[in-house]
Amino acid sequence: MAIKRCAASINVVQAAEIRIKNVFRNGLPVFMSFSGGKDSLCMAKIIFNLAQRGEINPAQLTVQFIDEEAIFPCMEQKTKEWRKKFIMLGAKFEWFCLEVKHYNCFNELSNDETFICWDSTKQEVWVRQPPAFAIRNHHLLRPRIDAYQDFLPRTCVSGITITGIRTAESVQRLQNIAAMHKAGKGMTNKHQVFPIYDWTDKDVWLFLLQEHVDIPDIYLYLWQSGTGRGQLRVSQFFSVDTAKSLVKMNEYYPDLMDRVIKREPNAYLAALYWDSEMFGRNSRKRKEMESKVPLKDYKAELIKMFGNMDSYFTTKHKRKVAERYRNFFMCVSAIADARDFKAIYEGLISGDPKLRTYRALYQRIYGKYISEAKKAEAMKHG
């Protein structure tokens, strides 16, 4: 879908404030998803400023934080600080420590593809203890079955949820939000609104700087260790987006890796094999290691894997993901090149539980094909 960007007469902060005030004007309860990360800090600061100026009613607001157990100490500390700020403002703050499901990229070598946060059968090896004020159970939760994306919408049916999702982080998000607005809708069917959807990374960091918002130390540590600005993402340790942080952050939090490995023994794989196809990495270190071995025929490897699905994909979810990849491979095999086959192969090897890599590959390969076809047509008529 073609997406047209239009310039506005106001800046992104002013636009976000207008969207948030419109949400509160409905008079309904307002729920805000908070993670302690950079995007939710921007949302929190905007809402805090509006409430202090008397432009929204903080009594309508409930802030919701899903504590995923395996989080950096500084993230917990910053969330506690904001919890205090919101409560003093007159809002409600719900800190959930529940047995929700989370994808675990370290379990690719076993049959268990999920991490259960605050697993009641593993209390002796929890990465950390829950705060005394945390909500430990909820009547709308299906323990050990629900992901937080399943649970939270059930708690918010009485109102509207605002979330710090930004289109700059994903082509898929851009297309979904563009389609939503094209249809004349301002929110999803789950009553979700994204006030900062059009912010870039630069907008986020500039706002935090100008508003003097303290950020978790983990961002500074990642930057010091060489992580690029566009890759400064922090979430639960065992997600594929954040697993690399464990390797880099061990020197900043000396006892953290020991606690993580006790909780999830396969986490040592990050230290041993991070720069490998197991995690879909394309680092300089991996290139140096692989320069001494024969080039792999990734198309042939894919054919081999798809011809032996039961052997390579041993769980129901892995098989489901592999079937999507197989159908995609069959559709693009005539137009894909060696680099594309390598990317498809690594998406399977490293695991793609939410199909993010799959969707990105779909856009990349077909986008490249369309672009090349247009160039060829232009040359033909030129």
DSSP letter string, 12-29 = HHHHHHHHHHHHHHT-S-
Instruction: Please report, for the chain, how many H helices and E strands are present, in that order.
Output: 16, 7
Map out the domains of the chain with their CATH numbers. 12-210 (3.40.50.620), 298-377 (no CATH)
Between 59 and 273, the higher pLDDT residue: 59
Q: Contact 70/249 with Cβ under 8 angstroms?
A: no
Is residue 172 predicted with pLDDT exceeding 70? no
Q: Contact 327/254 with Cβ under 8 angstroms?
A: no
> What confidence tens digit (pLDDT) does each residue in 116-152 have?
999 999 999 998 999 999 999 999 999 999 988 899 9
The CB density around residue 313, as the number of other CB atoms within 10 Å, is 20
300: exposed, middle or buried (Cβ count in 10 Å: 0-12, 13-18, 19+): exposed
Q: What is the Cα–Cα distance from 382 to 369, expressed in whole angstroms?
A: 20
pLDDT in the model for residue 275: 55
Is residue 155 predicted with pLDDT exceeding 90? yes
181: exposed, middle or buried (Cβ count in 10 Å: 0-12, 13-18, 19+): exposed
Is residue 17 predicted with pLDDT exceeding 50? yes
Q: How confident is the model at residue 109 (pLDDT cuts 50, 70, 90)?
A: very low
User: Which element (helix H / strand E) includes 31?
Assistant: strand 30-34
Cα angle 189, 192, 196 (rounded to 5 degrees) comes to: 140
Is residue 252 predicted with pLDDT exceeding 60? yes
Is residue 105 predicted with pLDDT exceeding 70? no
The single-letter DSSP state of residue 295 is P
The radius of gyration of the chain from alpha carbons, rounded to an integer in Å, stands at 22
Judged by average pLDDT, the poorest of 216-220, 265-269, 345-349 is 265-269
pLDDT in the model for residue 345: 86
In the chain the first and final C-alpha atoms are separated, in Å, by 27
Between 265 and 368, the higher pLDDT residue: 368
55: left (phi over 0), alpha (psi -120 to 50) or beta: alpha
- Find the mean pLDDT for residues 254-277: 70
DSSP result, 47-97? HHHHHHTTSS-GGGEEEEEE--SS--HHHHHHHHHHHHHHHHHT-EEEEE-
Q: How confident is the model at residue 199 (pLDDT cuts 50, 70, 90)?
A: very high
pLDDT in the model for residue 110: 47
Amino acid letter, 265: P
* Mean per-residue pLDDT of the chain: 82
> What confidence tens digit (pLDDT) does each residue in 19-50 have?
999 999 999 999 999 999 999 999 999 999 99
- Find the mean pLDDT for residues 82-92: 97
44: left (phi over 0), alpha (psi -120 to 50) or beta: alpha
> What confidence tens digit (pLDDT) does each residue in 160-171 have?
999 988 887 655
pLDDT in the model for residue 90: 96
Is residue 364 predicted with pLDDT exceeding 60? yes
Give me the phi and psi of 339, to 5 degrees please.
-65, -40
Q: What is the Cα–Cα distance from 26 to 48, expressed in whole angstroms?
A: 18
Q: How confident is the model at residue 175 (pLDDT cuts 50, 70, 90)?
A: low
